[in-house]
Amino acid sequence: MFKGISKETKVGSLTALAITVLILGYNYMVGKDNPFSGSRKFYVHYDSAQGLAESTPIMYNGFRVGQVRKMALDKNSDKIVAKLEIYSDLHIPKNSKVRIESELLGGMKLKLLLGNSKTMAQNGDTLLPDYAKDVMSMVNEKMAPIAAGADSLLANLNALIRRSSVQKTFDALPELVHNVTATVNDLKLMLEGMKPGITTTVDNLAQFSRNLDGYGKSIEGGLKSFNRFSAQLDSVQLTQIMASLDKTVTALSGLVGDMQNGKGSLGMMMKDEALYKSLVQTNYTLQCLMNDIKQYPQKYLPMPWGKKQRKNAIEQSTKTNDCVPTPDPTKTN
């Protein structure tokens, strides 16, 4: 197949092929997937590289769009200049940021954060730097308040332990433990002494529980007998009570009928209005007389030596009570 081709041509062809493979392999090793495609160059000035190195991938929404092509130190500003190579045709605004982030296993990556500027960055422009907090920084931030709280707690505990009252309490602990041990031993001895009585009580309870069935039957029989007695008693007494009530109702009906017909004293009082008024007037006169006797007893007890007092009493009674007749003051017993 290669007959007629000179050795120089074969060597040259193999050399060219080897160089091509070497170039492709190198570009693949440094992260450039397609060395023949066009790319754009951008620059970012970082205050700290945070372990950033060449060939570090540049990610956008989890998709690789480029890599770090070169890292250099700017002597004038003491900043790290990262040369970025973007393979994608993604439109990048002028105020976009490139954030340094640490991966979970310790590697580094760049994350492209697109800005909101309407002016797009051109090849060779400088983008803005941005830094993400690494895992250790976040852990330190979370642990710092916890450590401060632990220090404060330990300090408070130390101050509490150093108090004289606490020291006295600690000193009294051996005696307290000794007393508790003695109390437990006393209780143990007491329980051992009560063990026969407790055993007897438990046996009695067990026997009582075994006899509950017989007790229940006896109680049930007694209740049945009581029910029969109650039924008989109720039937006898109920008949007598109903007869007595019937008589009482009949008598009350007759009494009410007599009263309505004007019979008897109550009936006459209910029906005869003149009698009722006369009784009322009589009651009023008697009350008035009793009051007059209480106020002026000299009026009703004529004494030879008390004529003047009796006369005054009669005059006062006449002024105040007009319902009582006035006796003759000249009469004496």
What are the structural domain ranges in the chain? 1-30, 39-136, 151-210, 219-266, 273-320
Amino acid at 239: T
**What percent of the chain is predicted at pLDDT more than 90?**
15
Residue 332 has pLDDT above 50, yes or no: no
* 15-to-2, 6, 8, 27, 28 alpha-carbon distances in Å: 16, 14, 10, 18, 20
Tokens coding 78: 């003491």
Tokens coding 52: 């950033």
Which of 4, 54, 64 is closest to 34 using CA atoms?
A: 64
**Domain 39-136, architecture per CATH:** Beta Barrel (2.40)
Overall average pLDDT of the 81-95 stretch: 91
Averaged pLDDT score across all residues of the chain:
78
Write down the pLDDT at residue 82.
92
pLDDT grade, residue 155 (50/70/90)? confident
Tokens coding 215: 């007790």
Q: Which residue has the higher pLDDT, 253 or 69?
A: 69
Write down the pLDDT at residue 272.
66
